[in-house]
Amino acid sequence: MDFTHFSETPCKVWVLIDNPENYWWKKIDFHSGFLLSEIKNHKKQSRPTELQQIIDLTKWPAKEFQSDYSSTIIFCKNHFHADWIYLIHDAKTFKQSKLIEFLNDTNLKSIRCFAPFEPEPSLKSRLDLCDLVSEAHLS
């Protein structure tokens, strides 16, 4: 088994499709102490009842925020030689502009993409390093 993709990488961000059946998802989940599984099973909390009561009593114009749940960014420096895992929940609706925005905000220029994620040429051209790990690397 080749674990060179998990060690001593110059890539700051690992990009992975959220699919528990994927070989790389399983390996990263296992080597992170099942961090990906915990995130997958996490339930979003609703507004606390006490807060809702205050909003109702004061007739405060509470705003409902729409969040983009197409991806999750996980700090993983304690688990791997990368700083972040960028977990894409729905590959069909995911916009690579979100990943570009994250990379720009953090001033990061190196990513490792685990199959089946394939970055667009426009994303690759912005990076100093774009490492693609396919399932052909399996041994």
pLDDT (tens place) for every residue of the chain, 139 residues total: 345 556 555 689 999 999 999 999 999 999 888 989 988 887 666 777 888 888 888 888 766 655 567 888 998 887 788 899 999 998 888 999 999 999 999 999 999 999 899 999 999 999 999 988 887 555 4
Buried b (16+ CB within 10 A) or exposed e, 9-46: bebbbbbbbbbeebebbebbbeebeebbeebbeeeeee
Q: What is the DSSP letter of 21?
A: T
- Measured between alpha carbons, how far apart are the two ends of the chain, in Å? 6
Considering the segment(s) 4-137 as one domain, its CATH architecture is 3-Layer(aba) Sandwich (3.40)
Q: What pLDDT is attached to residue 47?
A: 73
Q: Tell me how far apart the alpha carbons of residues 106 and 13 are, in angstroms, rounded to a whole number.
A: 10
State the pLDDT at residue 16.
Answer: 95
